[in-house]
Structure 1
Amino acid sequence: MSEDTKIENQTIPEPVPSRPLLPVTQIALVLAVIAICSSGWLWLEQRQQGHLLEKSLALRLSEFDERSRAGLTFAKRADESSTEATAKIALLEQKLEESRAQQQSLQTLYLELASNRDAWTISEAEQLVIIASQQLQLAGNVKPALLALQTADNRLQELDKPQIIQLRKIINRDIQKLQALPSVDIVGMSLKLDALADAADKLPLASIRHPRTDSTARPDWDSNPWHRLAQEVWQDIQRMVRVEHMDHPETPMLAPEQNYFLRENLKLRLLDARIALLQHDEATYRVDLQTAALWIKRYFDVGDATTRNALDILQQLSSSSITIQLPDISESLNAVAKYKLALERNK
């Protein structure tokens, strides 16, 4: 009984009436809706940017494929140039072997004719005149040919015979013809072309030309603060816009790959000019020099001292003539051969 009485005596809690939604809850719902809308808008924006990125990547891949094809074409041309150079080197080696064979023949001839001083001297002079003729006809080298003729004349002078005087007169006429030719420093010009090819990597490009140093006077810190502030603002405005005088249209910017190929093509032009110089091919030589100078003026900073020096060297090389009208020394060769034949008949 006591337990039932206790239960009845306990107060039964009254139901709490439902309260209306507070403004804070409404604001939270609005913010949640705004957040969901913002998330959806950001998702759409990111999706659109993804499509744009895919298009950009596809465009760049196509450009890279085109550049790869251009690189393959350039490599093919380089292989062809290398093949031509190898063939020329093989030809030079063949001529060197021929020269060595002639030298060996001359040595053998020297041993065979040691017993007959006159015949040996005439044979040696004939070989020297033949070498001079080959130097003129095959390589166009004036100095070795002149040295060979002078050596032949000195050898004939040792005989000191009246019959040799007419032969020496003919050889001396050819020596005077070679001495009258204009001097062309082929070796020096070739070294200048090699130096220009080595300096091609150091020439500054016109598309990455650095701006001039700002020489605007600094504001007077001891002046009126308002005046100093006005000076600073005016100097900032002047730095925002810079007007420069351009003698030529502005060169478009080149990609790093294009910069590399530009410098390599310039080197190839200079090396081709060097090969044409050694071959006395003046037409090809001048075309290569003009093309190299045109590329330097178009793509490199002509205001830089290194670029101006390269253009000056190219101008000097272009003004020099490498083609010389070589004389014919067959008269000396025929005279020596006839005298040698006369000696053999008198034996």
Structure 2
Amino acid sequence: MENNKKDPNPSAQKGENVISPAPSPKEKPPLAKKGNATSQQSADSKTNNQSNASVNNGRRKAKPSSWWIRIGLLLSLLVAMIAVAASYWLYLQLDQQANNQTQLGQNITEQVTQNKAFKYELQQTAMAANKRIATLEQQQSNNIKAYSTLAELQQSNKQLQERVAVIAQRSPNHWMASEAEYLVRMAGRKLWLENDPQTAIGLLQSADERISAMKDPSLTILRRALADDISKVNALKTTDITNTIFDLDTLINDITQLPLNRVDENFANHKNTQPVTDSIDDWQQNLTRTWHELTDGFITIRKRTTDLEPLLSPEQQWYLVENIRNKLLQAQLALYRFDQVNYQQSISLADKWLQQYFDLRDLKTKAMIESLDKLAKIKVEKITLNKFQASPLLQQLVIYGEIMPTEEPAQ
């Protein structure tokens, strides 16, 4: 547009450049001669007139073609502008479509993420529900077991009440039977746990007295069983474990008071020396005796017929006493286990160490050795009686009020 404003006839100028006037046939080249100046000027003026006339004719002929060129250029510019606008619009549409596709992809990604999260929540919810269902099923099972146990307890309680009611309606002899059954149980405890057959015999005899006081002829079988049990307990040869344990405890406590062997420095003097008299008249004899005692005792050689035991250090003495105490404790444990072999070995080792390392001339040592010799003669025998015959019969009497008859084997 600026070119159009500056040059209103650009097409005409272009036409002028394109359509040049043809050289006139009347034009002639200038003459070479310089002589005739007037003829030359006239010829030049004619030539210029003719050229101007031809240019004007060319412009008049080029005006129609310049308008068509302008219209073509205008149409081309318009088409170019439309193409640019269409390209820009297409670019905007493609860019918007790309943005839409990107946004759609993001939306799809977010939706997939949300779906995964929702799926995970559903799985967690399902797992929690399954756990809750399993817990409820377990609780239901426990409740069923508890209800069944409660029903059994109620049934047992009912039976116990019925039994108590039956017992309350019985005769006073039932209480005597219960007391006899208790005495028999205590006899078994004394015999098997405390190894005290004498007390067990007394308890069995007391139970027999209770059964005898009931004055029931049907209990003859029970009294016969009690008599058999009493005779079997009397026949047992058992060791008084309790007193033996007490004797060993006494020895364990007294072991530290025993003196050990020492080197005897007081050798016996077998010389028959006469004492020095107080009489002045015997001064010669007294002098002679004194001289002989001095010369004879200046160098003395003594002989030992026994082995000389080395002295023990305080630490060795402590270990010796503790070893003897340990052996006596092992003897006690063997008594509780009715182990005759270990009992004899423990007593023998303790006796051997006493005679080897302690002073045998001391009265306490002699008394302990004598006690160990007595304990070594004890024989530990295990009780072979396992049960009383009267126990099941007394249980039947307490529970049912009578002794149930035994079934005879079918022939």
TM-score of the two chains, using structure 2 as the length reference: 0.50
Q: 5+ residue gaps in structure 1? A: 1-108
2:362 matches 1:304? yes
2:380 matches 1:322? yes
1:314 deviates by 0.4
| CA distance in structure 2 between the partners assigned to 1:169 and 1:236 by the alignment | 90
For 1:9-28, what per-residue CA distance to the aligned partner results, in whole angstroms no more than 9, with x for missing partners? xxxxxxxxxxxxxxxxxxxx
| CA distance in structure 1 between the partners assigned to 2:321 and 2:373 by the alignment | 19
For 1:165-190, what per-residue CA distance to the aligned partner results, in whole angstroms no more than 9, with x for missing partners? 22112111211221233363333322
Amino acid at match of 2:275: D
| CA distance in structure 1 between the partners assigned to 2:384 and 2:190 by the alignment | 11
1:158 aligned partner: 213
Is the 1:149–1:175 Cα contact (8 Å) retained in structure 2?
A: yes
1:235 deviates by 4.1
2:81 aligned partner: none
| CA distance in structure 1 between the partners assigned to 2:171 and 2:337 by the alignment | 41
Amino acid at match of 1:241: I
1:131 aligned partner: 186
1:140 aligned partner: 195
1:292 aligned partner: 350
Amino acid at match of 1:312: E
2:302 matches 1:242? yes
| CA distance in structure 1 between the partners assigned to 2:247 and 2:258 by the alignment | 16
2:235 aligned partner: 180
1:199 deviates by 1.5
192 and 140 in structure 1: CA distance in 2 versus 1, 3 angstrom threshold: closer
Amino acid at match of 2:296: W
Amino acid at match of 2:377: S
| CA distance in structure 2 between the partners assigned to 1:188 and 1:344 by the alignment | 42
1:333 aligned partner: 391
344 and 334 in structure 1: CA distance in 2 versus 1, 3 angstrom threshold: closer
Is the 1:219–1:231 Cα contact (8 Å) retained in structure 2?
A: no
1:294 deviates by 1.6
2:260 aligned partner: 205
The answer to which of 122-131 and 336-345 deviates more is: 336-345
Within 5 Å, give how 1:230-269 maps onto structure 2: 230-237=292-299, 240-246=300-306, 249-269=307-327
Helix, strand or coil at the partner of 1:245:
coil
1:317 deviates by 0.3
| CA distance in structure 2 between the partners assigned to 1:303 and 1:317 by the alignment | 21
| CA distance in structure 2 between the partners assigned to 1:225 and 1:140 by the alignment | 78
| CA distance in structure 1 between the partners assigned to 2:210 and 2:263 by the alignment | 64
Q: Paired residues, what number?
A: 231
141 and 165 in structure 1: CA distance in 2 versus 1, 3 angstrom threshold: same
| CA distance in structure 1 between the partners assigned to 2:385 and 2:298 by the alignment | 73
Within 5 Å, give how 1:211-230 maps onto structure 2: 211-212=265-266, 214-216=268-270, 217-222=272-277, 223-230=285-292
154 and 309 in structure 1: CA distance in 2 versus 1, 3 angstrom threshold: same
| CA distance in structure 2 between the partners assigned to 1:186 and 1:345 by the alignment | 37
Amino acid at match of 1:284: N
1:115 deviates by 6.2
Amino acid at match of 1:244: R
252 and 213 in structure 1: CA distance in 2 versus 1, 3 angstrom threshold: closer
| CA distance in structure 2 between the partners assigned to 1:300 and 1:314 by the alignment | 14
1:170 aligned partner: 225
1:256 deviates by 0.8
Is the 1:203–1:306 Cα contact (8 Å) retained in structure 2?
A: yes
236 and 129 in structure 1: CA distance in 2 versus 1, 3 angstrom threshold: farther
Match for residue 195 of structure 1 among 245, 250, 254: 250
2:314 matches 1:276? no
195 and 224 in structure 1: CA distance in 2 versus 1, 3 angstrom threshold: same
1:290 deviates by 1.2
Is the 2:229–2:388 Cα contact (8 Å) retained in structure 1?
A: no
Q: 5+ residue gaps in structure 2? A: 1-163, 278-284, 405-411
Helix, strand or coil at the partner of 2:338:
coil
What is the root-mean-square deviation of aligned Cα atoms in Å? 2.9
1:261 deviates by 1.9
| CA distance in structure 2 between the partners assigned to 1:236 and 1:306 by the alignment | 39
Amino acid at match of 2:226: I
Within 5 Å, give how 1:39-118 maps onto structure 2: 116-118=171-173
1:75 aligned partner: none
1:209 deviates by 4.4
1:311 deviates by 1.1
Higher CA-based Rg:
2
Determine which structure has greater relative contact order: mean sequence separation of CA pairs < 8 Å that are 6+ residues apart, divided by chain length.
Answer: 1
Amino acid at match of 2:304: E
For 1:96-125, what per-residue CA distance to the aligned partner results, in whole angstroms no more than 9, with x for missing partners? xxxxxxxxxxxxx9xx76964222222222
166 and 220 in structure 1: CA distance in 2 versus 1, 3 angstrom threshold: same
Is the 1:153–1:171 Cα contact (8 Å) retained in structure 2?
A: yes
191 and 330 in structure 1: CA distance in 2 versus 1, 3 angstrom threshold: closer
| CA distance in structure 1 between the partners assigned to 2:190 and 2:346 by the alignment | 26
325 and 137 in structure 1: CA distance in 2 versus 1, 3 angstrom threshold: closer
